[in-house]
Structure 1
Amino acid sequence: MRYLTVLTALLGAVSAAPSLIARAKSPFSVAEPGNAKDIIITANNTLNGTFHSSTTTIVNKNAIHSRALGGSLPIKLVNSFSGNQVNAYISGLDSDNRVVFIAADGSLVYPSSGGSAVPVAINSNIAIPLPAKGNSISITVPIVITSARIYFSEGNLQFFMVKIPNGDGLVQPSPTNLSDPSAGINWGFVELSYTSGLAVYANISYVDFVGMILSMTLSVKDGSGTQVTKGLSSTAVSQICNGLVQQGNSDGYPWSSLCVANSAGTPIRALSPNDYNVINSAGFQNYWSAYVDQVWNQYTNNPLTINTQSVGNVNCQVSGGTLNCSGDNRGYAKPTAGDIWGCNSGPFAIQGGDNAVHAAVVPRLCAAFVRSTLLIAGGNVQPGVGASQYYTVNPTNHYSRLVHSLEVDGRGYAFPYDDVNPDGENASGTLASGAPDTLTVFVGAPPS
Structure 2
Amino acid sequence: MLHRIKHPLVAVAAAVALLGTLLVWAAPSQARAAVPATIPLTIKNSSGRGEPVYVYNIGTSLTTGQQGWADANGTFHAWPAGGNPPTPAPDASIAGPAAGQSLTIRMPKFSGRIYFSYGRKLDFRLTTGGLVQPAVQNPSDPNRNILFNWSEYTLNDGGLWLNSTQVDMFSAPYAVGVRRGDGTTISTGRLKSGGYNAVFAALRAQPGGWANLIQTRTDGSVLRVLSPGHGLETGGLPASVMNDYVNRVWQRYTTSTLTVTPFANQPNTKYYGRVSGNVMNFTNGSGAVVTSFQKPDADSIFRCHKLLDAPNDAVRGPISRTLCAGFNRSTLLTNPNQPDTSSANFYRDAVTNHYARVIHAQMTDGKAYAFAFDDVGNHESLVHDGNPQQAYVTLDPLS
Quote the Cα distance in structure 2 between the aligned partners of 1:46 and 1:181: 23
> One-letter code of the match for 1:130?
G
Quote the Cα distance in structure 2 between the aligned partners of 1:359 and 1:198: 23
- In structure 2, the residue matched to 1:139 is 105
TM-score by length of 1: 0.74
Q: Secondary structure at the residue paired with 1:436?
A: coil
Distance 1:320 1:438, change over 3 A: same
Deviations 1:97-118 (A, max 9, x none): 33333334666544424x5222
Quote the Cα distance in structure 2 between the aligned partners of 1:255 and 1:127: 34
Q: 1:343 aligned to 304, 307, 315, which one?
A: 304
Quote the Cα distance in structure 2 between the aligned partners of 1:183 and 1:246: 24
> One-letter code of the match for 2:99?
K
Q: Secondary structure at the residue paired with 2:327?
A: helix
Quote the Cα distance in structure 2 between the aligned partners of 1:190 and 1:278: 23
> One-letter code of the match for 1:410?
G
- In structure 1, the residue matched to 2:279 is 322
- In structure 1, the residue matched to 2:209 is 254
**How many residues in Structure 1 have an aligned counterpart in Structure 2?**
361
- In structure 2, the residue matched to 1:72 is 38
- In structure 2, the residue matched to 1:395 is 351
Deviations 1:249-268 (A, max 9, x none): xxxx2111111111211111
Q: Is the CA contact 1:233–1:445 (under 8 Å) kept in the aligned structure 2? A: no
1:232 aligns with 2:191: yes
- In structure 2, the residue matched to 1:204 is 164
Q: Is the CA contact 2:149–2:171 (under 8 Å) kept in the aligned structure 1? A: yes
What does residue range 159-178 of structure 1 map to in structure 2 within 5 Å?
159-164=123-128, 169-178=130-139
Quote the Cα distance in structure 2 between the aligned partners of 1:266 and 1:80: 20
What does residue range 1-400 of structure 1 map to in structure 2 within 5 Å?
43-44=20-21, 71-83=37-49, 84-94=51-61, 95-104=63-72, 108-113=76-81, 115-124=82-91, 126-141=92-107, 143-144=108-109, 146-164=110-128, 169-195=130-156, 197=157, 199-221=159-181, 223=182, 225-233=184-192, 235-248=194-207, 253-280=208-235, 283-309=237-263, 310=266, 312-327=269-284, 328-346=289-307, 348-350=308-310, 356-376=314-334, 379-384=335-340, 386-400=342-356
Q: Is the CA contact 1:277–1:283 (under 8 Å) kept in the aligned structure 2? A: yes
Q: Is the CA contact 1:119–1:160 (under 8 Å) kept in the aligned structure 2? A: no
1:431 aligns with 2:383: yes
Q: Is the CA contact 1:88–1:153 (under 8 Å) kept in the aligned structure 2? A: yes
- Give the CA deviation at 1:283: 3.1
Residue ranges of structure 2 left out of the alignment (5+ in a row) = 1-18, 25-35
Q: Which is richer in strand?
A: 2
- Give the CA deviation at 1:441: 0.9
Deviations 1:76-127 (A, max 9, x none): 11010122222211122232233333334666544424x5222222353x32
Q: Which stretch of the first structure deviates more once superposed, 128-137 or 97-106?
A: 97-106
> One-letter code of the match for 1:430?
L
Distance 1:137 1:284, change over 3 A: same
Deviations 1:33-58 (A, max 9, x none): xxxxxxxxx832799xxxxxxxxxxx
Q: Secondary structure at the residue paired with 2:198?
A: helix
- In structure 2, the residue matched to 1:53 is none
Q: Is the CA contact 1:218–1:227 (under 8 Å) kept in the aligned structure 2? A: yes
Q: Which is richer in helix?
A: 1
* CA RMSD of superposed structures (Å): 2.6
Q: Is the CA contact 1:76–1:136 (under 8 Å) kept in the aligned structure 2? A: yes
Quote the Cα distance in structure 1 between the aligned partners of 2:271 and 2:158: 39
Quote the Cα distance in structure 1 between the aligned partners of 2:23 and 2:366: 30
- In structure 2, the residue matched to 1:3 is none
- In structure 1, the residue matched to 2:32 is none
Using the aligned pairs only, state the percent identity.
28
Quote the Cα distance in structure 2 between the aligned partners of 1:105 and 1:325: 51
Distance 1:224 1:45, change over 3 A: closer
> One-letter code of the match for 2:159?
A
Quote the Cα distance in structure 1 between the aligned partners of 2:125 and 2:79: 7
Q: Secondary structure at the residue paired with 2:370?
A: coil
- In structure 2, the residue matched to 1:418 is 374
Q: Is the CA contact 2:228–2:237 (under 8 Å) kept in the aligned structure 1? A: no
- Give the CA deviation at 1:72: 2.7
- In structure 2, the residue matched to 1:55 is none
Quote the Cα distance in structure 2 between the aligned partners of 1:276 and 1:183: 15
Which has the larger Rg? Answer: 1
Q: Secondary structure at the residue paired with 1:356?
A: coil
- Give the CA deviation at 1:411: 1.9
> One-letter code of the match for 2:314?
A
Distance 1:219 1:329, change over 3 A: same
Q: Is the CA contact 1:45–1:171 (under 8 Å) kept in the aligned structure 2? A: no
Residue ranges of structure 1 left out of the alignment (5+ in a row) = 1-41, 48-69
Quote the Cα distance in structure 1 between the aligned partners of 2:76 and 2:315: 45
Deviations 1:263-282 (A, max 9, x none): 211111111101222222x8
Quote the Cα distance in structure 2 between the aligned partners of 1:87 and 1:445: 16
Distance 1:283 1:319, change over 3 A: same
Deviations 1:130-183 (A, max 9, x none): 333221111123x43x22211111122333342425xxx122222322221111
Deviations 1:278-329 (A, max 9, x none): 222x832112222222222212122222222335233222222222222242
> One-letter code of the match for 1:274?
G
